[in-house]
Structure 1
Amino acid sequence: MATYAIGDIQGCCDPLKRLLEQIRFDPAQDTIWFVGDLVNRGPDSLGVLRLVRNELGDRAITVLGNHDIHLMSVWSGHGRLKNSDTLRGTLDAPDADELIEWLRHRPLMHVDERMGYAMAHAGLPPAWSVAEAQLRARELERALRGEIPLDDLMDNIYGNRPIEWSDDLEGYDRLRFITNAFMRMRFVDGEGRLLLREKGRPGAAPEGHYPWFIARRRLRGARDPVKLVTGHWSLLGFHNDDGVLSIDTGCQWGNTLTAVRIDDGSEGVYSLKCPEHD
């Protein structure tokens, strides 16, 4: 019984299938953790959703990423497709409603204390412990699953502020920070405040800003009780240090798709070259 974590798929269905063959995935007993961003930019988001939902089913554990939320936003009538989006085929599919409703019910965070790993798309801000992050994830999950009408929610959770967490945050300000922390964060300042406009390499942040996991370790003063499995940051690439296993290796850009075995202590890495897409 093996458990693998796989980096951002972003609509690259054929590479995903080939990587599953490479690791000899056994759907009868093995499990896959997906770090989010199943869809967009690659050529076959619809195929990825159908594969993960219909074929892998309970053997797949998926957390939500920013591109998954973008698909929900367009579907709800709030968002608009960008020139770089490849979501039209998914939105026009006869099973689009079923697939996106399924996506709405994916978690923001997954924790397995027995294995010693937790998973979130972008990471965890320094302000939250792992236990606190789980509580914050549940808040946004309830909203996404119908506590708030989806079109109203999507009208209000986009934006770069607030940049700093406070337990006193309320309403959409609170949900917007939770959204950005789980799905968009890369850099923070020395106090843990989010810097969302900067998307470059780890060394490219303005003075006084750091990769979130560096600031997290400094501000919290100790490692987390679980290792954090993340994606989202293709320019960071494969990173296995600082209590973080980051595995977005840029398949959608013609780089690689990465799987890591996380159940047996080996953290064996499997990498597959991806084709470039227009």
Structure 2
Amino acid sequence: MRNEKVLSLVNVSKSFGNKKVLNGVNLDVYKGQIIGYIGPNGAGKSTTVKLMLGLIEGHSGIIEIFGENIIKSDYAYKKRIGYVPETAELYENLTAFEYLSFTGELYGLATEDAEKKAYELMKEFGLEAAFHQRLSSFSKGMKQKVLIISSLLHDPDLLFYDEPLSGLDANSVMVIKEILAQLAKRGKTIFYSSHIMDVVEKISNRIVLLVDGQVVADGTFEELKMQNKEGSLEGIFNQLTGFTEHEQIAERFVDLVSEGHNNE
């Protein structure tokens, strides 16, 4: 299973005006992998994902998904993809039932099948009582669960998740992490982007670190730890991105906070 390539980037570069955001990214992703895709703000993570999803265009290099060059594809590959963006715009005047039925139909599910599956998935999250309530009345965590359900309704083979645990309580985080693990066991491929290093460390079986539009580390957590002599992913991240001033910044910040108080 691991030899089945799902996604391939070959020397992919992307610029916005004079600013080069991606600079020759090479990456092969295989069936059943959970890729933790990390990097500082502005490293090019979201740009990579949006290129792969076909949401932005104008790149150089080759992007293949399920063996198809996405530039030459008829976009049929998108039916096999699920996506939860970092900030999603929900149609908040719709009920969860209406939104999920609509999403399921967009992916080709029959209306009745979409409705039934959406209700059952909402029930697993303990949200069945809110199924016919407007999304505008939902908490952030409830909306996030609806987004996760919408990404899975059509049983996709490849999932792109950008900060999917945002707004979730501790119990829900445990459930979602286990869902991702179970999906990977069943051959689904997950491209997971987050700033929460301990979560990436725990759920990913491969971690890719992007800095200034280039891949600077790629391997399991154990491999990265051996190469960089750090005990945590956060430590490895700081070492490879060259950011070591967090303690000094924090100290200066707290000094400034307490400055007026100390002068009293």
TM interval, short-chain normalised: 0.3 to 0.5
Q: Which has the higher strand share?
A: 2
Alignment TM-score, normalising by the size of structure 2: 0.33
Alignment TM-score, normalising by the size of structure 1: 0.32
Structure of larger gyration radius: 2
Q: Which has the higher helix share?
A: 2
